[in-house]
């Protein structure tokens, strides 16, 4: 059968696209699982920000998970990372990132570094991420991994997230990845007027909600609830 010029061009384009995808899969065996994760777990649930979808496709989630559990890296659930902590479900990471409305000039504070995955997702979208982890071993391992992967606009600190990071305040955006009973006043104080905070709030007994707080230009706090969630509790401790 003789092909028209237009059909021939289409055939060549499809063939080239297939070859490129095959080459990408050979170079990164996790690429297909990551693409499926974004398509089925994230896009189908309504996350639409193209920059968020792009970084979720690009960030190697499996590297932020203990080796023995890496087969679960792109599945639709949280994964334990040790010390009673977890790496959040991919959809929740994407949703919280979208709700945060990151931008290239934003200075971001993250409470709860964990394995460093949320910081890695945010890093390409903002100017700098300052992230605090109460578990010293996790803070050290996340800092080393982020450095090895080339995330040079992320600073990790071992410390008490309830205190925030006053030396670097104010922040355009604050994201909390463990659940306090209520948003600490220190974090609200360190949020810049016009800024936004996203956090799970509540307890395992009375339930938790993912909330978004907007701080108006005149310093007023506006709060809305997004959906029920389940996070590990935000641990309070002495500032190291």
Q: What is the CATH number of the domain that holds 216?
A: 3.40.50.150
Q: What is the dihedral of CA 125, 209, 138, 171, to 10 degrees?
A: 40
The whole-angstrom separation of Cα 13 and Cα 19 is 10
Are residues 64 and 94 in contact, defined by beta-carbon separation less than 8 angstroms?
Answer: no
Determine, yes or no, domain membership for 48.
yes
Using CA atoms, how far residue 194 sits from 37, 172, 217, in Å, is 33, 7, 5
Determine, yes or no, domain membership for 239.
no
Residues 47-79: tens digit of each pLDDT: 999 999 999 999 999 999 999 999 999 999 999
Determine, yes or no, domain membership for 240.
no
pLDDT at 200 over 60: yes
Please tell me which residue in 71, 88, 115, 203 is annotated as part of the active site.
88
SS3 161: helix
Q: What is the pLDDT of residue 17?
A: 46
Residues 77-89: tens digit of each pLDDT: 999 999 999 999 9
Using CA atoms, how far residue 40 sits from 45, 74, 98, 163, in Å, is 8, 11, 17, 38
Q: What is the pLDDT of residue 192?
A: 98
Average pLDDT, rounded, for the chain: 91
Q: What are phi and psi of 47, to 5 degrees?
A: -75, 125
Determine, yes or no, domain membership for 236.
no
SS3 25: helix
When divided into structural domains, the chain yields a total of 1
Q: What is the pLDDT of residue 182?
A: 96
- Kind of pairing between the strands at 79-82 and 85-87: antiparallel
**Residues in Cβ contact with 203 at an 8 Å cutoff, skipping those fewer than 6 apart:** 179, 181, 233
Determine, yes or no, domain membership for 108.
yes
Residues 97-144: tens digit of each pLDDT: 999 999 999 999 999 999 999 999 999 999 999 999 999 999 999 999
The domain in which residue 50 lies consists of: 6-229
Determine, yes or no, domain membership for 192.
yes
SS3 234: coil
In the chain, pLDDT over 70 holds for what percent of residues?
A: 88
pLDDT at 40 over 50: yes
Active site residue 225: no
Q: What is the pLDDT of residue 204?
A: 79
Determine, yes or no, domain membership for 195.
yes
Determine, yes or no, domain membership for 237.
no
């Amino acid at each position: 059968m003789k092909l028209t010029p237009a059909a021939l061009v289409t055939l060549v384009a499809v063939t080239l696209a297939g070859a490129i995808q095959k080459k990408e899969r050979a170079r990164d065996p996790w690429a297909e699982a990551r693409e499926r994760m974004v398509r089925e777990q994230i896009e189908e649930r309504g996350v639409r920000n193209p920059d968020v979808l792009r970084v979720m496709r690009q960030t190697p989630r499996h590297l932020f998970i203990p080796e023995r559990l890496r087969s679960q890296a792109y599945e639709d659930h949280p994964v334990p990372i040790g010390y009673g902590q977890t790496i959040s479900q991919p959809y929740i990471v994407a949703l919280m990132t979208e709700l945060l409305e990151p931008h290239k000039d934003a200075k971001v504070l993250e409470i709860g570094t964990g394995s460093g995955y949320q910081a890695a997702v945010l890093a390409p979208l903002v100017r700098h991420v300052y992230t605090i982890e109460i578990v010293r071993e996790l803070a050290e391992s996340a800092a080393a991994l982020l450095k090895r992967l080339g995330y040079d606009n992320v600073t990790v600190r071992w410390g008490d997230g309830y205190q925030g990071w006053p030396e670097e305040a104010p922040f355009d955006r604050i994201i909390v990845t463990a659940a306090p009973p209520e948003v600490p006043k220190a974090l609200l104080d360190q949020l810049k007027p016009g800024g936004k905070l996203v956090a799970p709030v509540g307890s395992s007994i009375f339930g938790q909600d993912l909330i978004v707080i907007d701080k108006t230009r005149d310093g007023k706090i506006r709060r809305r609830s997004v959906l029920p969630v389940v996070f590990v509790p935000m641990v309070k401790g002495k500032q190291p």
